Chain A
Amino acid sequence: MPTWMKRLCLCWKRSALLLFGVLAFVPLPARAVLGDTAASVLTDQARMKGSLRSVDAKAYVMHEITVDSGTVVREYVSPAGVVFAVAWEGQFPPDFEQLLGPYYQQAKQATSQQERHGRGPIFVDTPGLVVQQSGHPRSFHGQAYVPQLIPEGVKASDIR
């Protein structure tokens, strides 16, 4: 796809986001985000009753939702319009069932297979899903991404 087409495409997507922004005031059904379309960001925002800030990093758009409890959720959307990564931090972890969607069960499955030796951060490193959460119960930090969905030119370390 020529660059101008990509730009046009992105431009259209931004208009669509704005449109969804208006629609966000209408109650929407809760749905999954990781691996889902950009529209699910707004669903999430509506569900979390949070404020939204979006940053265009060229290779992806990062939407940051700040909930009134102080928890911050960042959702990373690829040029293809897919949420390829999510990150969170704050006193209360987000609702993972909603944020990770089908990947939630995958994450739980992976942690349940880890034999318990003690306690500490979660780290799931599978070919189809990478999840980590560290910090402590006043300050959680975590991220999840689907390696296959990461757009070209984006590194896992860009997710913050």
Chain B
Amino acid sequence: MRRFALLFVVAIVVWIAGCSSSSTPNTVTGVTLSCLPSPIQSSQQNQCIATVTGTGSFSTTVTWTASGGSIASNGVYTAPVVLSPTTFTITGTSTQNTHDSAMTTVTVNPVNATPITVDAGPQPQTFTAVNEAFTSVTVCVPNTSTCQTIDHILVDTGTSGLRLLSSVLTVPLPQQNDSSGNPLDECMVFLDGYAWGPVALADISIAGEKASSAPVQVMIPDSGSPPVPSDCSSRSMGFNEGNSVSALGANGILGVGLFQQDCGTKCTSANGTIPPVYYECPSSGCNPTYVTLAQQVPNPVILFSFDNNGVVISLPVVPEGGVPTENGSLIFGIGTQTNNAVPTSATVYTVPNSGTNAGELTTTFNGVSYPSTIESGATGIFFLDSATTGITTCTVKGSTWYCPTTSPDNLSAINQGANGNKGIVNFSIEDANKLLSSSHTAFSTLGAPAPMPGTFDWGLSFFFGRTVFTAIDGKSAPGGPPPYIAY
């Protein structure tokens, strides 16, 4: 009896369904798609939604396909890894009527951001780093999978080029030769030391960006071969930073500064005296030589397929007294993706690309103007002297720092670019003796004198609480032309 009742209900349902189909056919009439957000970055996901229209009773489901990457049945699209912006086609086909389909596109950009950390430095801890922004870099023997990821590479917008300590390098990067077939070595002089060693070639990967077969410098110790030429070491009053991890304060330096190469045209043209920067080193010994721009150690950013016009460093506010560690981000490209647009609140300060003030702004303090730099690779704020600033100094472990008796000492200066743009910088200096005896490693208030002839060097202390754009000479970037610094 029950069975008959069920059959009756089913029959009624079928009859009703049949009735409606006779008046409106069950047909799919169209499919539209949208995938949001777009663009996305390598390996990121977005959601694709299909809107199926039709008449009568029809299926709203679609079958998804993608020309690159993968898409799940629920419409979640996963982007593939790309090195430059690539557009992929997403197709949604009605499952009910495979003749009805629609296409849309998703643009995939390379991953252009990587974390930076301010901490006590590389392990084993033989020294304590202060105000050093570190990141990780992967280097590979070109066109192979023989790779090494090296942590605690100092991010420096004051220099250009990747330099790695030979003592931490475990992959055999091939030596670059000069035009005569002799090994090419380099003497890179910093403010407070120098780096000597071979120019090698590496595929450099940082974030989702890649610089293929890029010249890099391998920093070797005094005991290394070839020995440091005397006209290299005598250009510095500091020491060989390639001697050890503690001598460098890092495992390497990632120079992502204002210029495309570390030397530029001064090292390429036969203008009389060969600068003691690049050396050809046959077995008989090393002598300075000219090199082409392509042979020089470049800012690796210029070799990226995309996001290659500069970098952005973003670090949070650090309160007075400093913090134990801090985290921020290093973003490649300026105005190339949504995360590196120059905001309207930022000011662009252009700098000269040559001459004795190359790469420098002007900073006015108490009505007097001084040349200045903004670089993430310098520790604190190095400026003027006690007589000019009225701040007392003290000696902490052999170095002179500002140690105001009323701490913090609140100061103000005006930065100006070559384009005439100006901006006030309010900054505070705290007693360095107190700061450096704490266990903290990130300080926004660390300062030291730089008295002769009077300069401002806005180091990492300046970067806390700011997003600082460093745009590379010879590239184009919004608000430019580069070279410029914007914040």
Distance from A136 Cβ to chain B, minimum over Cβ atoms (Å):
4
Whether the Cβ atoms of A93 and B236 lie closer than 8 Å is yes
Interfacial chain A residues near B264, Cβ < 8 Å: 138
Asked whether A94 is an interface residue with its Cβ less than 8 Å from the other chain, the reply is yes
Chain A residues, Cβ within 8 Å of B281: none
- 16 A-B residue contacts at CB 8 Å? A72-B356, A87-B453, A91-B263, A91-B275, A92-B235, A100-B237, A115-B398, A120-B191, A121-B378, A124-B237, A130-B452, A135-B371, A136-B159, A136-B375, A137-B189, A141-B455
Tell me the bound Cα distance from A67 to B273 in angstroms: 9
- Given A68-B271, A104-B237, A136-B359, verify A117-B191 contact (CB < 8 Å): no
Say which one of A9-17, A21-29, A105-113, A146-154 lies at the interface with B. A105-113
Q: Which residue of B lies closest to A93 (CB)?
A: B235
Query: Which bucket holds chain B's interface residue count?
Result: 35 or more
A119 B192 Cβ-Cβ under 8 A: yes
Q: How many residues of A contact B (CB 8 A)?
A: 55
Residues of B within 8 A of A (CB): 127-132, 154, 156, 158-159, 188-192, 230-231, 234-239, 246-247, 249, 257-259, 262-264, 266, 271-273, 275-277, 355-360, 371, 373, 375, 377-380, 382, 397-400, 436, 448-455, 457, 459-460
- A117 to B128, Cβ gap below 8 A? yes
Residues of A within 8 A of B453 (CB): 87, 141, 143, 157, 159-160
Chain B residues closer than 8 Å to A124, beta-carbon distance: 237
* A92-B266, A118-B249, A143-B453 given; A123·B273 CB < 8 A: no
Once A89-B356, A138-B358 are accepted as A-B contacts, the answer to whether A117 and B262 lie under 8 Å apart by CB is no
Which residues of chain B are near A118, meaning CB under 8 Å?
A: 129-132, 249, 378-380, 459-460
Return A75 CB to nearest CB of chain B, in Å. 15
Assembled-state Cα–Cα distance A68/B237 (Å): 23
14 more A-B contacts (CB under 8 A) besides A104-B234, A115-B399, A117-B397? A92-B266, A93-B189, A96-B235, A110-B398, A115-B127, A117-B130, A118-B132, A119-B379, A122-B238, A123-B451, A135-B455, A137-B158, A139-B373, A141-B455
CA distance A125 to B451 in the complex (A): 10
Cα–Cα distance between A159 and B452 once the two chains are bound (Å):
8
Quote the shortest CB–CB distance from B228 to chain A (angstroms).
13
Q: Are B356 and A90 in contact (CB under 8 A)?
A: yes
Nearest 10 A-B pairs (CB), nearest first? Answer: A118-B379, A115-B397, A97-B234, A114-B398, A143-B452, A68-B272, A134-B455, A120-B378, A136-B158, A114-B399
Interface residues of B, dominant DSSP: loop
Give, as a whole number of angstroms, the nearest-CB distance from B275 to chain A. Answer: 5
Query: Given A115-B398, A120-B457, do A69 and B275 touch, yes or no (CB 8 Å)?
Result: yes
CA distance A142 to B451 in the complex (A): 10
CA of A87 to CA of B355, assembled, Å: 16
Kindly state whether residue A37 has any CB partner on chain B within 8 Å. Answer: no
A31 to chain B minimum Cβ distance, whole angstroms, is: 14
Task: Tell me the bound Cα distance from A40 to B451 in angstroms.
Answer: 27
Contact of B452 among A67, A113, A132, A138 (CB under 8 A): A132
- The CA-CA distance from A92 to B263 in the complex, in Å, is 9
Complex Cα distance, B370 from A115, in Å, reads: 28
Of the candidates A72, A90, A133, the one having the most CB atoms from chain B within 10 angstroms of its own CB is A133
> In the assembly, what is the distance between CA of A67 and CA of B375, in Å?
27
Are A119 and B356 touching (Cβ within 8 A)?
A: no
Choose among B234, B275, B452, B453 the residue with the greatest number of A CB atoms under 10 Å from its CB: B452
The reply to whether B356 and A139 contact each other, CB–CB distance below 8 Å, is: yes
Residue of A at shortest CB range from B371?
Answer: A141
Query: Are B192 and A121 closer than 8 Å at their CB atoms?
Result: yes
Q: Which of A121, A130, A139, A140 contacts B382 (CB 8 A)?
A: A121
The answer, yes or no, to whether A156 is at the interface (CB within 8 Å) is yes
Task: Indicate which residue in B239, B247, B263 contacts A108 across the interface (CB closer than 8 Å).
Answer: B239
Q: In the bound complex, what is the Cα–Cα distance between A132 and B450 (angstroms)?
A: 7
A62 within 8 A of B: no
Given contacts A92-B275, A108-B239, contact A116 B127 (CB under 8 A): yes
Cβ contacts under 8 Å, B460 to chain A: 118
A131 to chain B: which residues have CB within 8 Å? 237
A58 at the interface (CB under 8 A from B): no
